Amino acid sequence: MIATIFLCSCELISIGSSKRQKQIEATQKTAVGAVWLFKAELDSNNINGAMKVLASPQGRLMLAIEKYEMYEEISRFRNIMGNHSFSSFKTDTITDDWLSIKVEADNQKHFKFLTFKVNNLWYVTEFGSK
């Protein structure tokens, strides 16, 4: 009786792929999450929100004037990304605080992001298409 219940509760045959895609959380707690947050803000046409995820290439938080000067560049990058969905990414550790992230969008476009950790939060310092 107990063996019958045990056997009935086990999955004997699995159909399809058992691999589950890892869910990326759009948050600055991880480098990849910061990139996803940056993209989500651009997809929502919220350039000011996207600028909150940026840091300077020197690895410090940006001043308001620096963000203002980057507004047009971020707007152009939003147009290049064109609401493409990210299909895969590859991370490359430079140091403990610096990470390079290469992203493939819709299996055809490629983007590269450089991220930096400031006070346990990750920021995008450089971005562009390859």
Q: Is the C-alpha dihedral spanning 47, 122, 99, 110 positive or negative?
A: negative
pLDDT at 17: 44
- 8, part of any domain: no
Q: Decide if 66 is inside a domain.
A: yes
Identify which of 35-39, 84-88, 107-111 has the greatest average pLDDT.
35-39
Report d(CA 122, CA 53) in Å as an integer. Answer: 8
- Residue 110 maps to a domain: yes
For residue 19, being part of any structural domain is answered with no
The CATH number that applies at residue 64 is 3.10.450.50
Whole-model pTM? 0.78
Residue 41 counted as domain residue: yes
Q: Is residue 20 part of a domain?
A: no
Cβ-in-10-Å burial (0-12, 13-18, 19+) of 59 comes to middle
pLDDT at 117 over 90: yes
Mean per-residue pLDDT over the chain, rounded = 83
Any domain includes 96: yes
| 14 found inside a domain | no
- For 30-83, what is each residue's pLDDT tens digit? 999 999 999 999 999 999 999 999 999 888 899 999 999 999 999 999 988 877
Report how many domains make up the chain.
1
Confidence of residue 22 (pLDDT cuts 50, 70, 90): low
Residue 125 belongs to what domain range? 26-129
